[in-house]
Amino acid sequence: MVFLGTSSAVPVANRSFPSIAVLRKDEVIIVDCGEGAQRQMVIAGIGFCRRMKILITHLHGDHIGGLTGLMQTMSMLKRSRALDIYGPKGVKGFINSTIKYLKVKLQYPVNILEVKEGLIVKEKEYEIYAKKGLHPINEYCYLFKELPRPGRFNVQKAKSLGIPEGPLWHRIQSGEKVALDEKIIRPEAILGPSRPGRVLGFSGDTRPHSSLSKFFKNADLLVFESTYSDRDADKAAQNMHSTSSDAAKIAFGANVKMLALVHLSARYEDSSSLLSEALKHYKNVIIPEDLDVIEVPYPDSKEPLKIYHL
């Protein structure tokens, strides 16, 4: 996960508008696309022609203002692969209108889905779910969930069954059944118990509510907005945002492994107070800066989450 932008509605020198890139195998999933996201992608070395999905949490300018420019750049770079965009009702009209009036000529197909609560993406190896947040306009939180992976390959069992090393081993490791000498060998005869995948949560902009802890339950990493400090809790309530303590309480209730606070208001030159407030309610909290990276290991791995700056 690369944090492309971690500020809120007003950028500061070291924090750009909201945007996060999740890199998985040959695909990138972008959550929100604030102004300047594409420049951050260049710095991070994220290619514009990769398989890509873009998830928009809501239609406030700081979360979607960079989308049309990114789409235009992709076209100028001769992208031909389809681009999938997901967002609340109105995202299709926004995209179509800006493309029309800015006279952007796209060289690739664009698929736009206006989401509702529940399952919105179903791929072979993962799913993405949406849940409504509490904000002045229609807003969605997202949950990325890898499906269970096949168990570990038992070499001795494979050899005892006479399965030759090569393509058949690969197919079984992928969870496929294979035919050998007029017999059908199912993967569970060779593989150990299935292994859990990774789970990532993204809040967008929202007031805290208990159902979010259930939605983000047991996530490996939760990225939650922390626009305000506790001392400005009244402003958070008035503008329908969360404080650092609000985010930490959601993370504690969800039993997540790590909480990352983003969408910081420009009023706080020093984020250490936000971190201190959150740590009172939840022990594993970080405040990433722009172009920080978190490598999320599989849950059954002994490796910790790795954090570094590009």
Q: Tens-digit pLDDT profile for the chain (310 aa)?
A: 999 999 999 999 999 999 999 999 999 999 999 999 999 999 999 999 999 999 999 999 999 999 999 999 999 999 999 999 999 999 999 999 999 999 999 999 999 999 999 999 999 999 999 999 999 999 999 999 999 998 999 999 999 989 999 999 999 988 899 998 888 999 889 999 999 999 999 999 999 999 999 999 999 999 999 999 999 999 999 999 999 999 999 999 999 999 999 999 999 989 999 999 999 999 999 999 999 999 999 999 989 999 999 9
pTM of the model: 0.93
Residue 223, classed as helix, strand or coil, is strand
CATH number of 2-149+195-309: 3.60.15.10
Separation CA 5–CA 289 (nearest Å): 8
Residue 28, classed as helix, strand or coil, is strand
| Token code pair at residue 88 | 């609340």
Separation CA 190–CA 223 (nearest Å): 38
**Side chain identity at residue 34, one-letter code:** G
- The sign one gets for the Cα dihedral 173, 119, 221, 217 is negative
Q: What is the CA radius of gyration of the chain?
A: 21
Nearest to 9 by CA among 41, 35, 42: 35
Contact 304, 18 (CB under 8 A): no
| Token code pair at residue 257 | 């492994």
Q: Is position 62 annotated as part of the catalytic site?
A: yes
Residue 245, classed as helix, strand or coil, is helix
Separation CA 292–CA 302 (nearest Å): 22
Give start-end residues of each CATH 3.60.15.10 domain in the chain. Answer: 2-149+195-309
Separation CA 295–CA 248 (nearest Å): 21
Separation CA 172–CA 179 (nearest Å): 11
Which among 32, 62, 205, 246 is annotated as catalytic? 62
